[in-house]
Structure 1
Amino acid sequence: MHRTTVKHTLVLAGIAAAAAAFAGTTTAAASTTNAATTPTVYASHGAIYLKQAGHTTRLTSDTVSRQPALSPDATQIAYVHNGTIWVMHTDGTDQHQISDRTGTNPTWDPSGVRITYTATSCTGAPGTFRTGTDGGTTSEVLTPAACTTQDAPLVGYITG
């Protein structure tokens, strides 16, 4: 690289850093550090994994889990286990079923207290249901509207 090119590159980098400081934003290095400590969850070959600070941990021992979703406070994971919705802590403890029917696509509400998921409704078509993170209760029917006053077909608790 030519001396002039290096000088221009350093000047531009200095301007970018000064602009970031003036705007009150963090530098790229700080953002990278935060991204490295923020956990991510994923499924591979039917197992749920947590990746944090460059370290990956397998959280489930079987091969029937998929669709993990990290809670808003990053302390719990909702996931599909053997066709039903389950929750566990990010260290893999307290794995328990929360849905009273088969379902997919668990999604946390912003408060992290409830989870919505998709399951077969009273019409036989897909519907949206909501339940708490403790399990053991009947899921609330959100859609379709025709099913909000009717019981949906139950599957029951599937253990294991």
Structure 2
Amino acid sequence: MRISGRVAGSVALAAAVGLGGSLVPPASAEAAAAEAAAQSLPSLVAYVRGGDVYVSKGATEQRLTTGGGHARPRWSPNGQQLAFLKKGQLWAMKADGTGQRQLATRTAAGPSWSPDGKWIAFASMSCTGGPGVYRIAATTAGAKPEVLFPSSCREEDLPEEAATDSPATGSLNDRLRTDDAVAWSPDGTRVAFRGGDCESTYDACLSIGTVATGEEKTVASYGGGGSQNSGFAVVPSWRSDGAKLSWTAYQEGETPAETKPVHLVEYDTVSGTKRTVGGALDRELSYVDAGRAVITSQNKGGSWLAVLGLATGTRTLLRSGSQPSVQPLPR
């Protein structure tokens, strides 16, 4: 059953997912490996630590926000701006942290830019009372959000709702399962998001929606519809060529062998095949290229960014933090 609180809560939840606390300086060997990995990255990585947004590439980092309550930074296609959440609402800023501006007053969840940079998609309560996907003009002051999904809400008035910045609590699973981060496809035709029409059949699901038609395709589902499991699929991320889509998942099966702790799934958008990448508790993948991604992993009891080799499973720790977003290279 859909309830509006899921969206309102998910924004604050995103800010708390995987936070590693204060920066823990790595041991010398870890520092050397992190430096080598960072130097091999083609661009900056934006991430969250302690509720604030940082960017880094190499031995140094730059703090872009202060005061906490920030989450889900996402680069614009030209790499010159970041969309992010501030106390549950949608904001944007320049890559150096200046020019911070609020884009919408609605409660929002993890944003994603359209590939032409004109729009930002985000999740918020829909006319059905459950989570929906909106878009808003990225550069127009006072722009009004437009409904993308569910398509049945496109002709309805925007529902009124109050923002919330309540802190998230509970286990990692609890914090992740209602994270409503969305991901706009590189060709601009589709948006991946948690939930959708599939929630009328399943207990939890992930959808790919076609912007032009409003049609939805279910790519992951848990419970109901004959599925003898429970779990979730959240925080989708597209590879730059659109051939792969990844997400963070959890599955509790009928037997221990069918149960998987939080992990990463990579989906082939042509064949529909899926595979697990990385290891247990890896999450929040952001592609670097076809062979590498920056993820949130576990280290020393906290959350750390790591560069993951998608074919080999090798990883190199970068920094304490979570919710990575890799800056696109200039086209």
Q: Please confirm whether the aligned pair reaches a TM-score higher than 0.5, indicating the same fold.
A: yes
* Runs of 5+ consecutive residues of structure 2 not aligned to the other structure: 1-36, 165-331
Give, in angstroms, the shift of residue 154 of structure 1: 3.5
Counterpart CA distance in 1 for 2:93 and 2:150 is 29
Aligned to 1:74: 79
1:118 aligned to 2:152? no
Counterpart CA distance in 2 for 1:34 and 1:73 is 20
1:99 corresponds, among 101, 104, 116, to: 104
Aligned to 1:145: 151
SS of residue in 2 equivalent to 1:146? helix
Q: Which runs of 4+ in 1 moved over 3 A?
A: 31-34, 154-158
Counterpart CA distance in 2 for 1:56 and 1:96 is 22
The structure-2 alpha-carbon separation of the partners of 1:114 and 1:156, relative to structure 1 and needing over 3 Å to count, comes to: farther
Greater strand percent: which structure? 2
TM-score (norm 2): 0.36
Which protein shows a greater Rg? Answer: 1
In the alignment, residue 43 of structure 1 is paired with which amino acid?
V
1:90 aligned to 2:95? yes
TM-score (norm 1): 0.72
Asked whether the 8 Å contact 2:38–2:58 carries over to 1, the reply is no
**Relative CO higher for 1 or 2, CA cutoff 8 Å, sep ≥ 6?**
2
1:26-52 per-position Cα deviation (integer Å, ceiling 9, x unaligned):
xxxxx97562x5011001111011113
Give, in angstroms, the shift of residue 153 of structure 1: 2.0
Give, in angstroms, the shift of residue 74 of structure 1: 1.1
Counterpart CA distance in 1 for 2:99 and 2:163 is 16
* Runs of 5+ consecutive residues of structure 1 not aligned to the other structure: 1-30
Counterpart CA distance in 2 for 1:70 and 1:52 is 15
1:136 aligned to 2:142? yes
Mean Cα deviation higher: 144-153 or 87-96: 144-153
Aligned to 1:46: 51
Greater helix percent: which structure? 1
Aligned-pair identity (%): 32
Q: How many residues align?
A: 127
